[in-house]
Amino acid sequence: MVAVTNPAKAEDIQIVESAPISQGGLSGLYITTGVGANWPIDRVGKGDRGIFTEFSNPGFSAEVGLGYEFKPLRLELTYALDASNLEGYNNVSGKYFKYVQGGQTSKNSAFASIYWDLFPSKRLSPYVGVGIGPTFLKVGAFSDPGLNYQGYSKSLFGYQAKAGLSYAFNYRSKVFAEAIYRGTSSYDTNDGFDKWSNTSFSSWGAQTGLRIGF
């Protein structure tokens, strides 16, 4: 009789049905891992001889670390790798030269990042985030058809910005896809012939990954 005279209200049903969704987000400590690709941005070098522009091929990216969520914010400590190869350059006269060998490049970064989940209690939620930390840049020796150049290693200030979309498929786990911008402070190099002042070694990227709560 109670069920007949007091039918369930629509809002009560909605609360019950949405409970798994609200519980589906991570809570507390979690691990995160992602893989994807990066597209380095053209770099400009300035020296006594003038200005040149250097190009890189697209490459591989990966990231792994620990995070802690206190909705709607998350904090993460991660290690990130961006690997690629030098492609060529326009010299100070504007003439293009393609590198014929070498030029393996890696950016190894340790980021402390903060993220904001727009709908933390929903299965599907967009998010944005920023991070900073040290970046170790290593460029191997390389050559064009006429010259061989020295490689170099630099310890730089690194930073990243992200925008992504996550989906909670159970109470502890989320998958995500994100767009990334990563950059470094400017730096000086000596290729064995001249000294150059270089702009940020930056790149656009995209990753997919998984976050698993404890």
Question: Is residue 200 within a helix (H) or strand (E), and if so which, with residue range?
Answer: none
Query: What is the average per-residue pLDDT within 102-123?
Result: 95
Q: What is the pLDDT averaged over residues 14-35?
A: 63
Summarize the confidence of residues 66-86 as an average pLDDT: 96
> Where does the pLDDT of residue 18 fall: very low under 50, low under 70, confident under 90, or very high at 90 and above?
very low
Domain spans in the chain, listed from the N-terminal domain onward? 44-213
Q: 119-139 in b/e burial notation, b at 16+ Cβ within 10 A?
A: ebebbebebebebebebebeb
pTM, rounded to two decimals: 0.84
Provide, rounded to the nearest whole percent, the portion of the chain with pLDDT above 90.
77
pLDDT of residue 26: 59
Assigned CATH for 44-213: 2.40.160.20
pLDDT tier for residue 3 given thresholds of 50, 70 and 90: very low
Give exposure, 58-76, as e/b (b: 16+ Cβ within 10 Å).
ebebbbebebebeeeebeb
Q: Of 156, 73, 152, whose CA–CA distance to 111 is shortest?
A: 156
Query: What type of residue sits at position 114?
Result: I
Tally of CB atoms within 10 A around 56: 22
pLDDT (0 to 100) of residue 13: 32
Residue 182 pLDDT more than 80? yes
